[in-house]
Amino acid sequence: MSTAPPARGVHVFAPEDVEAAGSHVPVLYVDDDRALYFPGGVGGGATRHPVVPGPSELVALSRRDDIIIVTVARATSRTTGVP
**57 assigned to some structural domain:** yes
Number of Cα atoms under 13 Å in the Cβ half of residue 51: 15
Count of CB atoms within 10 A of residue 4's CB?
A: 6
Higher-confidence residue: 42 or 51? Answer: 51
48 vs 3: CA distance, rounded Å = 34
Q: Per the structure, how many domains does the chain have?
A: 1
Mean pLDDT throughout 30-45?
81
Mean pLDDT throughout 16-28?
82
pLDDT band at 71 (very low <50, low <70, confident <90, very high): very high
**5 assigned to some structural domain:** no
**Edge-to-edge strand ranges of the sheet holding 10-13:** 10-13, 68-72, 27-30, 35-38
**47 assigned to some structural domain:** yes
Domain that holds residue 62: 10-72
Q: Is the pLDDT of residue 74 over 80?
A: no
